[in-house]
Amino acid sequence: MGIAVIGGGVAGITAALDLADSGYKVHLIEKNAELGGKMEELAECQMGLSPYIAKVENHPNINLMLSSELERLSGTAGDFKLSVSGNEVGVESVVLAPGYDIPEVAKSYGYGSPDVVVSLDFEGMLKAATVSETGELVRPSDGKRVKKLGFIKCVGSRCQENEICSTACCAYTAKEAWEVKERFPDIEIYIFYMDIRVFGKDEELVAELKDKYGVKYIRSRVPEVIPEEGALTVKFENLEKGTIEKLDLDMVVLAVGLLPSKTLSKLAEITGVKTDKYGYIETSLTSPLETSVPGILACGTATAPMKVRESVAQASGAALKAAGLSQRTEPIPGQEEHKYIEVGDELKTGVFICGCEGEIANSIDIPAVVERVSELKDVVYVNSETNTLQEAMDAIESGIVDQGLNRIVFAGQSPRECEDIVRDACAGAGLNPYLLEMVNLREQCAWVQGPKDATEAAVDMLKMAVERAKYLEEIPVERYPVIPKALVIGGGISGMNAALGIADAGYEVHLVDKGAELGGGLRESTELPGPGGEQAADVLKELVDKVTANERINVYTKVKEEKVVGRAGSFKAKIVAEGSAEDVEIEFGACVIATGARRDFVPEGYFGYGKEKNVTTVSEFVKMLAGKLDANTIALIQDVPGEGVTARYSSIEVVDSALKAKEKNPDANVFVLYQDIKTYGKWEVLYKDAREKGVIFLRYDKEKPPKYEDGIVSVYDVIFNDEIQIKPDLVVLSTPAMPAEANERLSEMFRIPLKNGFFMEKPERPKMVLTPVDTVNEGVFICGSAVYPAMIDECLAMSSAAASRACVLLAKDFLETPAMTSVVDEEICVGCGVCEAICPVEAIELTEEPVPVVTFGVTTVVGRTKKVAKVGEGCIGCGSCASYCPSSAMSLKYFRDKQVYAQLDYAV
Amino acid sequence: MGEETTKKEEEEFEPKIVGFTCNWCTYAAADLAGTSRKKYPPNSRIIRLMCSARLDPMFVLKALLNGADGVFFSGCHPGECHYIKGNYYARRRIAAIRTILKQLGLDNRFKSYWISASEGEKFANTMKGLTEEIKELGPSPLRGKIL
Ligand SMILES: Cc1cc2nc3c(=O)[nH]c(=O)nc-3n(C[C@H](O)[C@H](O)[C@H](O)COP(=O)(O)OP(=O)(O)OC[C@H]3O[C@@H](n4cnc5c(N)ncnc54)[C@H](O)[C@@H]3O)c2cc1C
Ligand code: SF4
Ligand code: SF4
């Protein structure tokens, strides 16, 4: 049968693709006429999503149902019957991804004045400014350039109508401010906020905005916006200074929150899934993807407000769970063996110039370019009729099949956006995909140059490409079998969950941990945060039992993994037991890294920690809460400086334990000293509850951290604007989380870069993450706190996502060898070893080879050997060896010297 | 009169510049400059390499010998290389290239930058600045010479 995915936003698209790519039939149901959801409206994001949309539209395993809505659902897991806009669909499982809607803004904050806009509309304005004549950001009311811009955060969130925090708005406001500053450096920006709830990269972005871009973050209570003739006056209470101030601005953006999709209540009624009291699909801390109805999974902003990164992690995870209930029925695309046509000596170059829906045609005189390109030698065909990528692909295919073209030059959008798609089109038509040369006419020509210059530049760029195409060669693509096994490193909650996910999908898993027992960091915890009161031990026990009982999972404890070789689909490694010389060699097709984070940072000396016995850390305090608590005054200190990063759960843990202390001992004075309380999403109610129950929150400035002397904590509170002194019985320090010790070693072994010691995902667009568990090393996935210290629900979703991505790969029977690798010309190689020393992945080995029989006049030299370099399987195609080889024996395929020289000959 | 014509020639001098960028950082930054419609002078032709480590000194020499008025290279910031160490190697190469170019008196025509994927604005500004600088230098002495 198959799987129904409801909602075609970024979450729905991700779930559909993971499923379809691993051979499941997917019915993707979207109520709008187009895919993309809210991301289509976001300035910076739309582009990033377009290749994925193109993939969905052309996927043989996806039945795309646009402008369709679910009307009825009956049956149970394994056998659901859906009625979708009059069509009947039978599926085994369902993934709900109906997304979010933004709140209606009341006539507060001056909303109603044309110059006060909500953020989603502001994204639209940024997009419009991009393509407008002048490229300027102008005020809607009078078309004048914006000089002073304000953002008001938390609009429609953390308020009476919507108690919770919308999680994404702090970060997206930072992104919007960054985009404005990058493009219009003269615009002054003021951001009014209560807390800055950002993590990781976004935290760096906010710091950069403040320090480098001069964006003013103003901590204030709800500002008032008074529209007046030609200006907006913002009146606010400056909490830092304790004064009432006024500021005249040209435009104000309201950073509105995210609410459950308006369609959700009806959808819940039809499907029978429960919603929580905020209207989101109900899920839980320990099963973040499962709804109340077995067989129906949920993901993305329909479960809680979140960013794209978290939405897509949930989506991949939900896809894996849905797949577990379904049967694979479809072939996996790209698995058929390609037979490439013989390319003779005669060059037949075809040039395809795509208009890109007007983007290129508007600034480049395409007919003029065609005329000049047609005159070039070896160009036998020029096509400029296509307007979309799809049309261009069709044209290329028929050009190869009907006209016998054997070199393709494609000029259109950036190769970074579409090179793979164009390669597939060539391969599909039987042409070796490396006989293709791309010209970036859109991003690097049409969009950045005036019309006259653009046309000239386009001609030059095409000449370079046509010349280079002459020297392109067929690169043999070989297939190798995928080893249907996975290695999971780390036996914490994320690692175990990933292992179970992969094993349940039918693959063998090697699960390794350096510790003696499974469980990882969570073994140190007691009661989990939140009202659920679940015990960490129970959650762990359930997982450990499942893992140990699973026949497909081989658990290795007290071991270290070593000597990884190979590539996606076919890796080898050694597993070495601690203190033993013996090792086990394992083979695997994919690897999931889940090494977690360490909580053992010792704030030695800070507040007398280590010396004074009433100074402790939050993790120790949480354990104390399980017993009797005799402390009448407790001071919890957030953001204790130190190595490492602030975990996403840091504030939640502090607020939760403060609240629990207060509940346990209602007479106690519980203080929380903090810079920002980051109780994102639904955790906000915990913060509200804590305040209502009498926990006292004191905000301090980074420049004036609290002090502890003679048993007295003194803190300068920026809200009371006064120094406050507390004499606590107990001081509790919330310390940073640190990366696992193994990360450095694993980073080198698997070639995955680290940031602050944590693993980095594959970079996508500058400010957006669409593949949060994929890395630059294909076949190696990362998840959980090894990426960024996160809450259990997030670790579970992310590890299911990593398992899902691994399974997409393992589902394939074959993979193709990478094409852009180095080759050595053995005759020229003098065996100097320069390349061997320089290769970053040790892919080169010097071997002793017999020298072929050579005859010099009358003497024949035989039986000699010489050293030559051999490029092995691990080559990642960096090209170091090719540029360092002193005898030019080494070349990088597709970037050979003569290919680059050809471009150079036409570049000037 | 004579002065005037030289001045006029200078004004009309449009340098030819060749740039080598790595695929992951600077090439992406150039794309970003495009998506945000940051205009910059049309003088540079970009050659995409996968990694900055592929920058061969011969490429730079060949570009100059072909008559380019300026050549630049730009990759990821040190420590952010997609291929781990590529840009460290590139840095060493660049130093070597400079030594050779100094002897030829051409080192002021070769520039190197580190521009990451999120620095679209920086890319556009770099192109503007570079074009100005090379304009100041005037045509390459090798221009039009067949070597
Ligand atoms: C102004 C603004 C800026 C943002 N910027 C960023 C950013 O820079 N980075 C970031 O990470 N996040 C950002 N976000 C958050 C981001 O938009 C969301 O995380 C993301 O779009 C969520 O994707 P989704 O698929 O869950 O939901 P959506 O994008 O809402 O998609 C849901 C889809 O489901 C469809 N649908 C709804 N109901 C039904 C139904 N009953 N049947 C069929 N289809 C249905 C909808 O039409 C829609 O296409 C921003 C949010 C806002 C408001
Ligand atoms: S604190 Fe929460 S609701 Fe307020 S702007 Fe930040 S993310 Fe949005
Ligand atoms: S191209 Fe890079 S990875 Fe490949 S062999 Fe050469 S130096 Fe090693």
Q: Is A879 on the interface with B (CB under 8 A)?
A: yes
Per-residue confidence (pLDDT) for residue A371, from 0 to 100: 94
Per-residue confidence (pLDDT) for residue A742, from 0 to 100: 92
SS3 A726: strand
Per-residue confidence (pLDDT) for residue A382, from 0 to 100: 95
Q: Is B32 on the interface with A (CB under 8 A)?
A: yes
Task: Determine, for residues B66 and A892 on separate chains, whether the beta-carbon distance falls below 8 Å.
Answer: no
Is any ligand 3 atom within 6 A of the Cβ of residue A823?
A: no
Q: Is B7 on the interface with A (CB under 8 A)?
A: no
Q: Are A503 and A448 in a shared domain?
A: no
Residues of chain A with pLDDT under 70: 43-47, 131, 764-767, 852-863
Q: Are A122 and A253 in a shared domain?
A: yes
Q: Are A744 and A595 in a shared domain?
A: yes
Per-residue confidence (pLDDT) for residue A674, from 0 to 100: 94
Q: Are A219 and A247 in a shared domain?
A: yes
Q: Are A678 and A722 in a shared domain?
A: yes
Degrees, nearest 5: CA angle A533-A534-A537: 135
Structure tokens at A280: 């989101």
Tens digit of pLDDT at every position of chain B (147 positions): 444 445 444 557 889 999 999 888 899 899 988 887 888 999 999 999 988 888 888 899 999 988 899 999 998 776 666 666 666 677 777 888 888 888 888 889 999 898 888 788 899 999 999 999 999 998 888 877 655
Q: How far is A329 from chain B (nearest CA, A)?
A: 37
Q: Are A770 and A838 in a shared domain?
A: no
Q: Is A481 on the interface with B (CB under 8 A)?
A: no
Q: Are A595 and A743 in a shared domain?
A: yes
Find, in chain A, the residue whose alpha carbon is nearest to that of B32.
A443
Is any ligand 3 atom within 6 A of the Cβ of residue A820?
A: no
Give the CATH number of the domain where residue A839 resides. Answer: 3.30.70.20
Window B:125-144, CB contacts with A under 8 Å = none
Q: Are A704 and A692 in a shared domain?
A: yes
Q: Is B8 on the interface with A (CB under 8 A)?
A: no
In this structure, is residue A477 part of a structural domain?
no
Is any ligand 2 atom within 6 A of the Cβ of residue A195?
A: yes
Query: How many beta-carbon contacts under 8 Å exist across A and B?
Result: 149
Give the CATH number of the domain where residue A163 resides. Answer: 3.50.50.60
Q: Which ligand approaches the C-alpha of residue A306 most closely?
A: 1
Q: How far is B138 from chain A (nearest CA, A)?
A: 15
Q: Find, among A844, A846, A847, A833, the residue nearest to A876 by Cα.
A: A844
Q: What is the pLDDT of residues A585-619, one digit of tens each?
A: 999 999 999 999 998 888 887 888 888 888 999 98
Give residues with Cβ within 8 angstroms of A605, minimum separation 6.
A611
Q: Which atom of ligand 2 is nearest to the CA of A194?
A: 1
pTM above 0.90, yes or no: no
Q: Is A897 on the interface with B (CB under 8 A)?
A: yes
Probe ligand 1: pick from A70, A72, A172, A765, max atoms within 8 Å of CB?
A172
Per-residue confidence (pLDDT) for residue A856, from 0 to 100: 66
CA atoms of B93 and B114, how far apart (whole Å) = 14
Per-residue confidence (pLDDT) for residue A891, from 0 to 100: 92
Ligand 2 geometric centre to CA of A235 (Å): 20
The number of helices, as runs of H, and strands, as runs of E, in chain B is 5, 4
Ligand 2 geometric centre to CA of A165 (Å): 5
Which ipTM was obtained for this model? 0.90
Which of A182, A450, A907 shows the shortest C-beta gap to B18? A907
CA atoms of A561 and A578, how far apart (whole Å) = 10
Per-residue confidence (pLDDT) for residue A502, from 0 to 100: 97
CA atoms of A649 and A632, how far apart (whole Å) = 26
Give residues with Cβ within 8 angstroms of B90, minimum separation 6.
B52, B53, B55, B73, B75
In this structure, is residue A67 part of a structural domain?
yes
Place of tokens 């070639």: A751
Q: Which domains does chain B have, with CATH numbers?
A: 15-137 (3.40.50)
End of a domain among A684, A701, A736?
Answer: A736
Phi-psi region of A325 (alpha: psi -120 to 50; beta: other; left: phi over 0): alpha
Look at ligand 3, atom 8, and give the residue with the nearest C-alpha: A839
Q: Are A690 and A760 in a shared domain?
A: no
Q: Are A589 and A558 in a shared domain?
A: yes
Name the residue range of residue A282's domain.
3-100+260-323
Task: Determine, for residues B51 and A456 on separate chains, whether the beta-carbon distance falls below 8 Å.
Answer: no
Give the CATH number of the domain where residue A380 resides. Answer: 3.40.50.960
Q: Is A104 on the interface with B (CB under 8 A)?
A: no
Is any ligand 2 atom within 6 A of the Cβ of residue A657?
A: no
Per-residue confidence (pLDDT) for residue B2, from 0 to 100: 42
- Compute the CA torsion angle B107, B110, B114, B117 (nearest 10 deg): 180
Q: Is B40 on the interface with A (CB under 8 A)?
A: yes
In this structure, is residue A336 part of a structural domain?
no
Ligand 3 geometric centre to CA of A895 (Å): 13
Probe ligand 1: pick from A6, A17, A38, max atoms within 8 Å of CB?
A38
The number of helices, as runs of H, and strands, as runs of E, in chain A is 21, 50
Window A:446-465, CB contacts with B under 8 Å = 446-450, 453-454, 456-457, 460-461, 464
Is any ligand 3 atom within 6 A of the Cβ of residue A872?
A: no
- Count of domains forming chain A: 6
Residue A297 β-bridge partners: A95, A290
End of a domain among A690, A719, A736?
Answer: A736
Backbone angles phi, psi at A577, to 5 degrees: -75, 145
Q: Are A155 and A238 in a shared domain?
A: yes
Per-residue confidence (pLDDT) for residue B116, from 0 to 100: 84
Phi-psi region of A785 (alpha: psi -120 to 50; beta: other; left: phi over 0): alpha
Q: Is B104 on the interface with A (CB under 8 A)?
A: no
In this structure, is residue A328 part of a structural domain?
no
Per-residue confidence (pLDDT) for residue B5, from 0 to 100: 45
Chain B residues touching A459 at Cβ < 8 A: none
Per-residue confidence (pLDDT) for residue B3, from 0 to 100: 45
Chain A residues touching B66 at Cβ < 8 A: 904-905, 907-908
Find, in chain B, the residue whose alpha carbon is nearest to that of A907.
B45
Is any ligand 1 atom within 6 A of the Cβ of residue A97?
A: yes
Q: Are A723 and A756 in a shared domain?
A: no
